[in-house]
Amino acid sequence: MTSSGTAEAAKEEIELALSAFHSTFVEAFAAAPTEQVLRDEKAKLLGKNGSLTAILKRMGALSADARKSVGERVNALKTEVEAAFDARLREMVAEKRKAELEARPFDLTLPGRNPIGDGHIHPISQVRADVIEIFRGLGFAVFDGPDVEHEANNFTKLGFPPDHPATDMQDSFWTKSRHVLRTHTSNIQVRAMTTVKPPMAFIAPGTVYRRDDDATHSPMFHQLEAFLIDENVSLAHLRGILSEFAERMYGPGTPIRLRPSYFPFVEPGAEVDVGCVFCKQPDGKRKGCSVCKHTGWIEILGCGMIHPVVFEHCGIDPEKYTGFALGMGLDRVAMLRYDIPNIKLLFDNDPRFLAQF
């Protein structure tokens, strides 16, 4: 065969291959079931090791004229492949969307699967809710405040002398800017008195912090403060509120007693005991038990008449107004109520412990 004959044959062969190529991609694209298969098919056609590249490698055998016309055909084919690919891709997206829209919608009313069992209220949250409920019933409103407090609100304005042990680095968590993680909820007395005019009756439940760590002390624990300020408030009002609280919290007839005590922000100050709920007899007498250390009494809070100095520090006239304040530890109340021996158990979040309540 002459060389022009060879070129002619090569041209025919390439044109045949190109026709075959054309029908291959039309069919392959139409049959591709997924986007990945479609992309794979395209790579097989146009990629470095694809069939078109293989065809192009044979172009050397063509005459210059033939090379030009075959080249044009190849370029047109490439454009056609790209267009067909894009069209099929759009079609797939549309098909998928249509299927989604036509499919049965999710049934949002189906109950979910719960791998850890039902949750419930934490013992401390329960106690806090109960105490809040009682005080709200007695006319007190909740006053909120921050955990990070300026030393003035936590200590100075409450009448703590600068060298009071509670202000010590060893006892409290200090920041570099003379702020402290509040060591009690009594800071809310200051916050309320400096923003609200008397009369006022507030409670302040919250988290408090001290450098304390043993079976009955945690560096973070919970308190609830209550205070009432008006003209002519007396110790008798405080005692009345305390009796009412004890009865609503621990049952009708629960006795209370006040023992003198000292807190810088009250005068006089007292600690309050309630009759032990654990060894109470049907006749109301207490026979003594390990919880009350055989005294028949359990200490539940500190209280007193707000010190005139605190009023002065907060811009309230101590000649005109008097008030009482009290503060209790909610963790202790929860531990007593549920007979929990170690305060840490309340904060470990161990489901085996929590599931018992």
CB of 157 to ligand DAH, least distance (A): 13
**Using CB under 6 A, which of the segments 28-36, 116-124, 250-258, 301-309 binds ligand DAH?**
301-309
Nearer to ligand DAH, 149 or 225 (CB): 225
- Please select the residue that binds ligand DAH; options are 266, 272, 298, 310, rule is CB under 6 A: 266
Question: How is residue 315 written in tokens?
Answer: 């811009």
The answer to whether 323 and 230 are in contact (CB under 8 A) is yes
The DSSP line for 134-150 is HHHHTT-EE----SEEE
- 3 state SS of 253: coil
**Contact window for ligand DAH (CB under 6 A) among 102-110, 242-250, 263-271, 335-343:** 263-271
**Residue 304 binds ligand DAH (CB under 6 A):** yes
Select 200 or 326, whichever has its Cβ closest to ligand DAH.
326
Closest approach of Cβ 282 to ligand DAH, in Å?
34
- Cβ nearer to ligand DAH, comparing 210 with 280: 210
Q: Is 150 in the site for ligand DAH (CB under 6 A)?
A: no
Strands (E), the chain: 141-142, 148-150, 179-181, 200-209, 220-230, 256-261, 266-275, 297-306, 322-329
Stretch that binds ligand DAH, among 24-32, 137-145, 172-180, 321-329 (CB under 6 A): 321-329
Contact status: 238 vs ligand DAH (CB under 6 A): no
Are 7 and 66 contacting, i.e. CB atoms less than 8 angstroms apart? Answer: yes
User: How many CA atoms within 13 Å lie on the side-chain side of 138?
Assistant: 24
**326 three-class SS:** strand
159 versus 269: smaller Cβ distance to ligand DAH? 269
Q: Does 209 bind ligand DAH (CB under 6 A)?
A: no
For residue 21 the two structure tokens come to 């190529």
Regarding 327 and contact with ligand DAH (CB under 6 A), the answer is yes
HEC string of 226-249 equals: EEEEECCCCHHHHHHHHHHHHHHH
Q: Does 203 bind ligand DAH (CB under 6 A)?
A: no
Question: Which residue is it, tokens 């390439």?
Answer: 14
Task: Tell me which residues touch ligand DAH (CB under 6 A).
Answer: 184, 186, 225, 263, 266, 269, 302-304, 325-327
